[in-house]
Amino acid sequence: MRAIQKKEALKGKDAVERLGYKGRKIIKNTLRTSFAAGLAAVLLVGPGLGRTISGKAAGSLSVLVLLGEWFGDAYFPLAKEIEARGWTMKRVGVDVEYRGCYNKKRDVVLRSDILIPDLKDFAGYDALIIPSGPQWRKFNENRTVLEFVRSAHAAGLIIASFCVGNTTVEAAGLVDLPAGPELYPDKVALVKERVLIGPRGGGPPPGDGFESAPIKEICDAVARELATKEKKRP
């Protein structure tokens, strides 16, 4: 057996010798380049090689969007922004279906992907987004909705809202802010651990509806907070 191994080793040595100086140099440089590339990849990614936000592929977040009857038109650009980022979105509410408000025709009907009473486990979800719209009036008087918002936050989700959606966050007891600049900041702000609120979104006519809604800003803030949350993990 040893004789065979020695014979094979000699063959390998002969093959290398036949390559000559230039051939051996090419092999040496190739190995050196491969090693350097692998080392650079480890250094760039760091000790968290393969680590992702909430254990998922980077950028692949899962968000819940709270909707109800008379949801605001800001939902439509919000849904597009979430899709463009490659995130997963589920509409959640107390109603099976509901219609929109100002600029869209009232025959636009959306359906809940998940009914609040059916959502018992928040595992796998990263954030709950509460957009603008007259739906807030019903939300703020609905104990089931308010308890749901509190439960989502207690389960570790980021709660993100803007415009009158902020009043639902307040009605749920997550913040205690006076109406005005504090409740409607000029830009998205972290007002409590895992609670983001944003500015107004234009409002109904003669306002510009959803045109000035801070859609991108809210999504950027959610991504930042989740990244920060991930870094804090041991």
Same domain, 34 and 71: no
The three-state secondary structure class of 31 is helix
Residue closest to 163 by CA, chosen among 147, 183, 141: 183
- Lowest-confidence pick of 45-49, 144-148, 204-208: 45-49
Q: Residue 212: its pLDDT value, please?
A: 81
Q: Which domain holds residue 41?
A: 2-47
Of residues 66 and 2, the one with the higher pLDDT is 66
Q: Pick the range with the lowest mean pLDDT from 117-121, 129-133, 176-180, 210-214.
A: 210-214
Looking at the fold, whether 23 and 127 belong to one and the same domain comes out as: no
Residue 12 shares a structural domain with residue 100: no
In sequence order, what are the residues at sequence separation of 6 or more whose Cβ sits closer than 8 angstroms to the Cβ of residue 110? 67, 71, 75, 91, 97, 98, 99, 100
- Residues 103 and 163 occupy one common structural domain: yes
| Helix extents (H) in the chain | 2-45, 75-84, 135-139, 143-154, 165-171, 215-231
Q: How far apart are CA 163 and CA 75, in angstroms?
A: 12
Q: Are 71 and 20 in a shared domain?
A: no
The residue type at 86? G
Strands 62-66 and 127-130: parallel
pLDDT, tens digit, 9 for 90 and up, residues 126-175: 999 999 988 999 999 999 999 999 999 999 999 999 999 999 999 999 99
* Whether residue 64 sits in one domain with residue 179: yes
Backbone angles phi, psi at 205, to 5 degrees: -55, 135
Which pTM does this prediction carry?
0.73
Query: Distance of alpha carbon 181 from its chain centroid, rounded?
Result: 26
Q: Which of 47, 63, 82 is the last residue of a domain?
A: 47
| Phi, psi at 201, each rounded to 5° | -115, 25
CATH number at residue 219: 3.40.50.880
Residues 70 and 34 in one domain: no
Q: Are residues 164 and 140 in contact, defined by beta-carbon separation less than 8 angstroms? A: no
Strands 127-130 and 114-115, how do they pair?
Answer: unpaired
* Residue 208 φ then ψ, to 5°: -95, 20
